[in-house]
Structures are given as structure tokens and as C-alpha cells.
Amino acid sequence: MTNPTSRVQITDAIRLTRLVCPGMEVLAEIAANVWQVPAAPGQVVAEGDTIAILESMKMEIPVLAPVAGTVTEVRVAPDDQVNEGDVIAVIEPS
């Protein structure tokens, strides 16, 4: 069972993030090669949609949208290399 208080705190944190930082950066969680980038600027995405697919050690690692919104920037292309913490894309939350 989820704690309703923690849901309110998370919702408040998301609202505050939107005020302070209008775009949410989607970051690489590991060092890898960019295999595919199905997302494009202007595309509307739902939370959990695939933004990019990384490849590391012959494994495919999807990079998912942390929030619903509109992709405002895509900062990688296929065959790019990324390090942990690099910005993959920016999403304007809806």
C-alpha cells in the first residue's frame, strides 16, 4: 500500500521542479554507445516511453521518459558515446 503523504510530497516536488527548471533532463545512467534514438524534438511522450536505446557489452538499455511531456531537445545521435550523467534529452513536463 502506498503512503498518501509521500504521494503528495512527490507531486509537490514535481511542481516545484517545473517552476525552478522548466525542462527535465533525461540522463544516461551508464557509459555506453547510443544505438537508436526514436524520440525527436517536438514529440509528445508519456512517462515510460523510450527516448533512446543505449548499447553496452552487447546489451540494449532503454532510456525512458521520467515524465509525460514534450521533447524539447535531443542531444545524442546513433553511434554517439555517452558517459554516466550525460544529458540524452530534455523534456518539458505537461
- Structural domains of the chain, ranges and CATH numbers in brackets: 22-93 (2.40.50.100)
Tens digit of each residue's pLDDT (9 = 90 or more) over 24-52: 999 999 999 999 999 999 999 999 999 99
Tell me how crowded residue 65 is: count the other CB atoms within 10 A of its CB: 21
Q: Are 87 and 20 in contact (CB under 8 A)?
A: no
pLDDT of 14 over the 60 cut: no
Question: 53 exposed, middle or buried (CB, 10 Å; 0-12, 13-18, 19+)?
Answer: middle
pLDDT of residue 28: 95
> What is the C-alpha to C-alpha distance for residues 7 and 2, in angstroms, rounded to an integer?
8
